[in-house]
Structure 1
Amino acid sequence: MNLLSPAWSFSLLSLWLILPVTLLLLACYASVRGSNPATSRAWPMAEWLLLAFMATTIAIGVGLLMLPAQGDPGVARAGDALGVYPDGLSFWMALMVAFIGWVILRYARDYLRADPAGIPFLPWFLTTLVSVLLLVTTNNLFVLAGAWVGVSLSLHQLLTLYSDREQARLAAAKKFITSRLGDLAILASVLLIWHQTGSYHIPELQQGQGGSSVALEVASVLLALAAALKCAQIPFHGWLLRVMEAPTPVSALLHAGVINLGGFLWLRLFPVFDGFTAGHWVLLVFGGLTAVIASLTMMTQSSVKHALVWSTNAQMGFMLFEIALGAYTLAFLHLLAHSLYKAHSFLAAGRTVGASAIQFDSGPCRLQFGLSLLGMGLAGGLLWFMPELVEGKSVLAAVLVLAVGAMVMGAPTGSRLVSRLWTLGLAVALVPTYAVLNSLLAPALPESPSFSLPVAAQVTGWFLLVSLGVLSWLMMFRPRSAWFDQLHWQMNQGLSLDRPFEHLTRRWAGKLLAAPAPKPQAPTLRTYSGDWL
């Protein structure tokens, strides 16, 4: 079997297109005929289709590994004919999205078995999933923008499954407004890119021949705003805090496969721009400030479910921060790892709460802080001898060193010394692990030889990271003073940065917030192996 032959290439890429279309048709069938999790055949059919899509994606990935360095014209022609873009980025993203979708679907089938929301869940879930798959596999810039809009519109229907709950309606209304702003930004950016380059073919755009112009600078800013809005960056993050009112499978899909699409957008289109742009500055400011504020707010939460939500907010900030610094491979790894971790966290909520209880109930330990400093020192030493891992950028090294320190400090403080030392070893192993994963994922992204990080951006990045380190130390050791008590309370409220947007939402979105007509009330929270956070 020659996966590189024109016949096999065309067949596999045809399946890559046909299977999502079949899922969309199944969603239409489920919408018309009903999709009760207890009786409908649409649920197992969807699971098998997703398994088939994953198998096809793996076969395509094997074929990509067999390609010569300069690529294969036959594969490119097959992709152009079908409107798909078989490259490393689309392979990893499609495989991850399909896998997470399959896991969530199996979970939701039991979780929603006795829930009226299970009937409309399947068609809108499949529609959202197909939109994401189309977004990550298309080779057409306008199809990408259309799929971006489709994701947000279908997700809105999932967020309103429990429309009798006021907080669910408020979250959906906030998300609807931010999504429409993001849609306008990405559509305007796409039009500017097309006007400037004369092409809407993504493989051509990735050759990076657009040069530098005012139009592309404006397009980069609009693209950065679209990414920031999709990733719930502060101050447009309020809807994320209330999305817990939706069913747990919806929360898992959102946190694991949708909210990170702003990062994918930039990983797909960054070669269009020449080096460091105004859009990178927008990502640096939005992502950096969100990472700092959300991380500190997460540390003050007494509720695990709230801490997990703020964790997502912070991780999306770090991802955009890394993109702004030109660390595209690190951001890609961050995207994949966060998606898999958050899917597991939301679908194993009971175990997450149990495992995290010690962390939230125990105070800081001086020994643990000392081990954290030791881990950071060891990680810094490894990066000193392997500067190529961070492309010679000290600010990126600081990001990895802080990640090691945070992992050590995140261990349960009531554990034994052996357990703490084991955690220290695992944390330091993040650096060589990143080296291996970096070599695995780097070929999936285009090179960016023209990217040069300005000194001002490096200074800004260092300022944000040092601020995070100092304030985190204060949050952990809690000095007894009135000013710190006030700071702790303010951070617990997220500095109330969401209130202005919430006020505007209540003022502008009256119809979206209106209570629906009376209908059978959604069931109350119940105990389940993957219960509510």
Structure 2
Amino acid sequence: MNSLLTVTPLKLVLLALVALLAVVIWRYSATALAGEPNKLRFMRALALTLTATVFTLLSNHLMLFWLGWCWISLSLQQLLLFYPERPRAQLAAHKKALSARTGELLLALAFILLYVEFNTADIGNLINQASIQSSLSVSGHLAVGLLVIVALIKCAQLPLHGWLIQVVEAPTPVSALLHAGIINLGGILLLIFSPLLSLSAPAATLLLVAALTSTVLAALIMTTRISIKVRLAWSTVAQMGLMLVEIALGLYTLALLHLLAHSCYKAYAFLYSGNAVNHYLAAQLADQIEPQTRHWVLALLAAALLVALAHQLLPLSSLSSAVLLVLAITVLLMPSMARADSRRPWRVMLALAYGVGLLALYLSGKYMLQQIMPTGSVLAPLADVVTSLVFSGLFVMAVLLRYHSRHRAVNRVFIWLNAGGYLDEWATKVTLKIWPYHSKKTADISALTQVESVK
């Protein structure tokens, strides 16, 4: 008899991440909600959500995994409605509930198809069978396609992203838990079932196109936002899309490293968001220097040299990963080169040292994780080249929006991006047409709150 709960190296890494986030968010919540009349209700819902996450990660049976998946959504719903009298919180929770129920139904259908395909509900046995196969049947491809759609929904990819942007109405610990943990479940689902994704090029293509489009739009829209929390929310959509792009390309080691780094960063960013306002204001008061073309060229060449040296130590898995590293290091180096004064050589040396440190950290993390989640081969090299070109185009567009937004054409794009491409308005209309929503009366909500506080 196969075990219903199992621990694998991948699950151990994810459980360690959950444990770290749980301790930090729990302690922060206990302090931040001191004196809150409904603190007990919040802590209870938080404990249920964390327990559901651990249960889902440990599950080795399709039915148990699905039950844990649903449990997470239902527990999270209570946290999103911690302030139920707020209309925006109600609307966000309503939209989240509809997308969650849709994802759960599609996941159930995918699991049924997988059971029919492999004649087992044991996840470990299923993955082992997929690892030795060279192809899937039509129902198998359909099942993997449904898993991809579920992951896109769970990661709040466009146009189903609106609820993630609006849940900033919930307490800060909820945002930290959601953006640092729960939102990663879509990527975790695909990493667990990666041997299946490796057998389905159509599903991987769907994932690449949808996630790459969402990444580009979300990253550009983020540049137009002023609110710290809203910028972080758009950043999460973009980062989740980038993680899914890496999975679609078969860069599983990079995707797992991305997941871990993003979780730690977003937990810190949201829990530290109050001080982020001061940093933002200080940056606005500082002298703004517009980089010249030569500054970008020098920074790009220096970044390319550093990445080339890193490639000699530990070969990079793809062209797109190399392009991402070069662009990231370029952004890091450019400010030190743009300001012309006597201290520029020292700033450049410090920035170079920082870049080398980040590359060393990246290579170390990749080396340790590649045994746990080895890189696969899903799509053709052409997809890697196209993705690299899209990343380069995104970089150029971000620079134009940052430094040349007064240009008529760029300004038109800026206005459209500032409106979020009107995607959320469209998604909200469709949501309310499918499932009408009526705001609760404040009196009823107050009565409910009093009852909960008595409990």
Q: Could you state the TM-score of these two structures normalised by the residue count of structure 2?
A: 0.89
Alignment of 1:264-343 (within 5 A): 264-343=188-267
The offset of 1:443, in angstroms, is 1.6
* Alpha-carbon spacing, 1:361–1:299, altered in 2? closer, same or farther (3 Å): farther
Matches within 5 A, 1:9-408: 80-81=2-3, 83-207=4-128, 208-210=131-133, 211-359=135-283, 363=288, 365-366=290-291, 369=296, 372-386=299-313, 388-390=315-317, 393-408=318-333
Matches within 5 A, 1:403-482: 403-408=328-333, 417=344, 418-419=346-347, 421-445=349-373, 448=376, 451-478=377-404, 480-482=406-408
Q: Which structure carries more relative contact order (alpha carbon 8 Å, separation 6+)? A: 2
Distance 2:232 2:239 in 1: 10
CA offset at residue 432 of structure 1? 2.9
Secondary structure in structure 1 of the residue aligned to 2:394: helix
- Which amino acid is the alignment partner of residue 308 of structure 1? L
Counterpart in 2 of 1:483? 409
Would the alpha carbon gap of residues 472 and 304 (structure 1) be closer, same or farther in structure 2, given more than 3 Å must change?
A: same
Distance 1:412 1:356 in 2: 21
Quote the residue 2:452 is aligned against.
Answer: none
Q: Contact (CA 8 Å) 2:300, 2:327: kept in 1 or not?
A: no
Cα offset for 1:341? 0.7
Distance in 2 (CA, whole Å) between partners of 1:379 and 1:509 is: 53
Q: Distance in 2 between matches of 1:360 and 1:295?
A: 21
1:506 matches 2:427: no
The alpha-carbon deviation at position 453 of structure 1 amounts to 2.6
AA aligned opposite 2:414: H
Closer, same or farther in 2 for the Cα pair 1:404/1:205, shift >3 Å? farther
Q: Which residue of structure 1 lines up, in the alignment, with residue 453 of structure 2?
A: none
Q: Using the alignment, how far apart are the partners of 2:337 and 2:429 within structure 1? A: 39
The separation in 2 between residues aligned to 1:138 and 1:515, in whole angstroms, is: 40
Q: Cα deviation per residue 1:224-281 (whole Å; 9 max; x = unaligned)?
A: 1100100010110001111110011111100111001101001101113444522211
Deviation at 1:171, TM superposition (A): 0.8
Q: 1:106 Cα shift?
A: 0.7
Q: Partners of 2:206 and 2:84 in 1: how far apart? A: 35
Q: In 2, are the aligned partners of 1:298 and 1:307 still within 8 Å (CA)?
A: yes
Residue-pair matches, total:
439
Instruction: Give the Cα–Cα distance (whole angstroms) in 1 for the partners of residues 305 and 337 of structure 2.
Output: 21
Worse-superposed segment, 438-447 or 86-95: 438-447
- Change in CA separation of 1:334 and 1:412 when aligned onto 2, cut-off 3 Å: farther
Return the alpha-carbon distance in structure 1 between the equivalents of residues 238 and 411 of structure 2.
Answer: 22
Aligned to 2:446: 519
Q: CA deviation at 1:321?
A: 0.6
Q: C-alpha deviations, 1:385-412, integer Å up to 9, x for none?
A: 357332xx21221122223234446899
Alignment-mate amino acid for residue 118 of structure 1:
K
- Using the TM superposition, give the Cα deviation of residue 204 of structure 1 relative to its aligned residue in structure 2, in angstroms: 1.7
CA-to-aligned-CA distance 1:18-71 (integer Å, 9 cap, x gap): xxxxxxxxxxxxxxxxxxxxxxxxxxxxxxxxxxxxxxxxxxxxxxxxxxxxxx
Over residues 402-445 of structure 1, what are the superposed CA-to-partner deviations in whole Å (9 max), with x where a residue is unaligned?
23234446899899744564234323433332221111111222
Q: Distance in 1 between matches of 2:298 and 2:38?
A: 48
Distance in 2 of aligned mates of 1:185 and 1:206 = 20
Work out whether residues 358 and 413 of structure 1, in 8 Å CA contact, stay in contact via their aligned partners in 2: no
In structure 1, the residue corresponding to 2:254 is in which secondary structure? helix
1:109-150 per-position Cα deviation (integer Å, ceiling 9, x unaligned): 121122233121111111111111111122222211221111
User: Do the aligned partners of 1:252 and 1:342 also contact (CA within 8 Å) in 2?
Assistant: yes
Please give the alpha-carbon distance, in whole angstroms, between the structure 1 residues aligned to 2:279 and 2:347: 14
Question: Equivalents in 2 of 1:423, 1:456: separation in Å?
Answer: 34
Report the Cα offset of residue 155 of structure 1.
0.6
For the Cα contact (< 8 Å) 2:168–2:230, is it kept in 1?
no
1:327 Cα deviation from its structure 2 partner? 0.4
- Unpaired stretches in structure 2, ≥5 consecutive residues: 450-455
Secondary structure class of the residue paired with 2:60:
coil
Q: Which moved more, 1:92-101 or 1:439-448?
A: 439-448
Q: Is the 8 A contact 1:359 1:412 kept in 2?
A: no
Moved more, 141-150 or 502-511: 502-511
Instruction: Output the amino acid matched with 1:280.
Output: A
Deviation at 1:307, TM superposition (A): 1.4
Q: CA deviation at 1:364?
A: 5.1
Equivalent residues of 1:224, 1:279 under 8 A apart: yes
- After superposition, the Cα gap between the structure-2 partners of 1:264 and 1:483, relative to the gap in structure 1 and judged at 3 Å, is same
Q: Deviations over 1:453-478 (max 9, x none)?
A: 31442243134212212211211221
Q: RMSD of the TM alignment (CA)?
A: 2.6
Cα distance change, pair 188–412 in 1 and its aligned pair in 2 (3 A):
farther
| Range that drifts further, 184-193 or 504-513 | 504-513
